[in-house]
Structure 1
Amino acid sequence: MTTNSIFPVIPARDVARSRDFYSGLLELTVVFDSGWYVQLQAPGNDVVQLGILEQGHHTVPVGFRTTPAGVLVSVEVDDVDRLYAGAVEAGLPVVSPLRDEVFGQRHFMTTDPDGLLVDVITVIPYAAEITESAAVTGGAR
């Protein structure tokens, strides 16, 4: 067996609102929209996909037709600074401001219309103390 793709499908109370949030924030293209399900994709990269499903849709088992909780969606991008500026300009909630982390990320966090945490990341070099520690354990990148 070969796995061909893994991508998140996010339940949403308002599919169109979530579609607009994710396509606007992450510059994704709508490749399918039935009203109750939307498939988004990065332009020119069909491996990067996100599905949005109406949380009360009959295909979702009873008991799972709720707002998502306890999940963090991480998205790696080339220019987090530009997307952060766009998120602030659009008035999106910023729950963790843009910052550099010693473990090799520059990122910020926002929430989608249903409160799902979205971490937008650009990979940066590890801090010196992390690089030295990783070199000792064989985990340097």
Structure 2
Amino acid sequence: MKLNAGIVTHKLAESKVFYTQVLGFGVSFENEFYLLLHTPSKEAEISFLLPNHPTQQPLFQAPFMGKGMYLTIEVEDVDKIYNQLKNNGIEIKIDIRDEPWGDRHFAIEDPNGIGIDIVKYSPQD
């Protein structure tokens, strides 16, 4: 089983720029109403779909309203990614921090208002 999260949004172009240029994702497939991106390792994908597109059923037509969703991206070197994004002028929404349960993470936001938690999981002692 494989999961592909999808966001219905008018911001296909902005999403493509953000995920490819800021996070290093690649384009798996693209047409005028759909964009499928993959992580640099090609282990996961995320898709974006234009709202109210006539090829789609009503269930997949209403646009995402920018609240109540987040993504987590697990990385090997969270400090390196944090410094790269900060040096490139990407707004950090939650500054880098260590949690009592062992995670080290920070958060940014994509053009659709989706919080992205970038984390290095560490086993708790």
TM-score by length of 2: 0.83
TM-score by length of 1: 0.75
Give me the identity figure in percent.
Answer: 28
Cα distance in structure 1, aligned partners of 2:57 and 2:95: 34
The correspondence for 1:21, drawn from 1, 18, 27, is 18
- Equivalence for 2:48: 52
Q: Once the 2 structures are TM-superposed, how far is the Cα of residue 90 of structure 1 from its aligned partner?
A: 2.8
Distance 1:100 1:67, change over 3 A: same
Contact 1:13 1:67 survives alignment (8 Å): no
Root mean square deviation, CA, Å: 2.1
- Equivalence for 2:83: 85
- Equivalence for 1:114: 112
- Equivalence for 1:134: none
The correspondence for 1:6, drawn from 3, 6, 9, is 3
Q: Deviations over 1:89-125 (max 9, x none)?
A: 2322211011111212111111111211111111123
Residues paired across the two proteins, number: 123
Q: Give 5+ residue unaligned stretches, structure 2.
A: none
Cα distance in structure 1, aligned partners of 2:50 and 2:3: 19
- Higher relative CO (Cα under 8 Å, sequence separation at least 6) belongs to 2
Q: Once the 2 structures are TM-superposed, how far is the Cα of residue 56 of structure 1 from its aligned partner?
A: 4.1
Residue aligned with 1:16, SS:
helix
Contact 2:10 2:63 survives alignment (8 Å): no
Q: Once the 2 structures are TM-superposed, how far is the Cα of residue 60 of structure 1 from its aligned partner?
A: 6.0
Q: Once the 2 structures are TM-superposed, how far is the Cα of residue 70 of structure 1 from its aligned partner?
A: 0.5
Q: Give 5+ residue unaligned stretches, structure 1.
A: 132-141
Residue aligned with 1:8, SS:
strand
Q: Once the 2 structures are TM-superposed, how far is the Cα of residue 13 of structure 1 from its aligned partner?
A: 2.3
Cα distance in structure 2, aligned partners of 1:124 and 1:25: 24
Cα distance in structure 1, aligned partners of 2:106 and 2:75: 12
